[in-house]
Structure 1
């Protein structure tokens, strides 16, 4: 699933780094912390590799 915003893509990248052991899990906050627990490495990789061009900074909740 592709990221819907730059913020979501960046959170997925942070969660992926923690899952791979490149970053401490204790450094994660908010969405990246829950993503690390609930998503597989493959799902995080797909979301983190989404192209940023044309993405909003944040997506509003509806």
Structure 2
């Protein structure tokens, strides 16, 4: 599942770092905390590694 915005990609990267023990889980907030709780490390890695070119800063709320 690719990220749809840079913000979503950043949140996935933060959640992935926490899953790997590189960042404290208590430092996660909002979307990154939700992603940490609901997604596997593999899913987070796929989302965080999505190419950034052409992505909006935030996804439109459609």
TM-score by length of 2: 0.98
Correspondences of 1:1-62 after superposition (within 5 Å): 1-62=1-62
Q: Which runs of 5+ in 2 are unaligned?
A: none
CA distance in 1, matches of 2:15, 2:35: 6
**Structure 1 portions without partners, runs of 5+:** none
For this pair of structures, how many residues does the alignment match? 62
CA distance in 2, matches of 1:2, 1:44: 9
TM-score by length of 1: 0.98
Q: Give me the CA root mean square deviation.
A: 0.4
Runs of 4+ in 1 over 3 A off after TM superposition: none
Following superposition, the deviation at residue 60 of structure 1 comes to 1.6
* CA apart distance, 1:59: 0.6
